[in-house]
Amino acid sequence: MVASRGLSIGAVLAELRPEFPEVTISKIRFLESEGLVRPARTSSGYREFTRSDVERLRFVLCAQRDRYLPLRVIREQLSDIGSADLSRENLLAQSGIDAATLAQLEQDGLVRPGRGGAYSVDDLTMLRIIRTMTGLGVEQEQLRAFRAAADREAALLRSFPDPETIRELTGLSAALHSLLVKASLRNVLGS
């Protein structure tokens, strides 16, 4: 880590690599040079990524991998989304999830609208992941198990007193969790 306020490029890579094995530090730098992510810099010039930066990278990588979108189109979509909250209608349109499914996901605690009923870019990313997972055969009950596991992990992280430490540990724990799941499935995956 370069500082306790943000994630280093290596920590970002460690967090993204389980979901995007092809991502490299060079790719992250390239996406920065294209203006798709703008991490802050320390006084010594090191990149400091925020949680929002990581989610923007995740959005870009998903759009490239899953929808084969060119960077120009992705840039426009990011501009449309911006950092503003999304309305329910906008969330449904951009996620490909229908209203009944969203209502069920909300009831199960998988998606939680913020103040005034608005949704975040993280909610949009989650819905896209959930849509892909359900397309692969994951059922609602199994999604609830993911929610319960995330809540247990969040409770563990809340035991740390410093919010900046919690932010840093959030990315690291996500990467560790992914690697532990892969290790547990080695026999099934054949790797």
Query: What angle, rounded to 10 degrees, do the helices at 51-67 and 9-16 form?
Result: 40
State which fold the 1-83 domain adopts.
Answer: Multidrug-efflux Transporter Regulator; Chain: A; Domain 2 (1.10.1660)
Main-chain dihedrals φ then ψ at residue 174, nearest 5 degrees: -65, -45
How many angstroms separate the CA atoms of 133 and 76, rounded?
A: 26
The 10s digit of each residue's pLDDT in 176-189 is 888 898 899 998 88
Please state the pTM of the whole predicted model.
0.57
C-beta separation of 2 from 47 below 8 A: yes
The 10s digit of each residue's pLDDT in 114-139 is 877 888 878 888 898 898 899 899 99
Copy the structure tokens of residue 53.
Answer: 């930066």
Main-chain dihedrals φ then ψ at residue 85, nearest 5 degrees: -70, 155
Domain ranges for the chain: 1-83
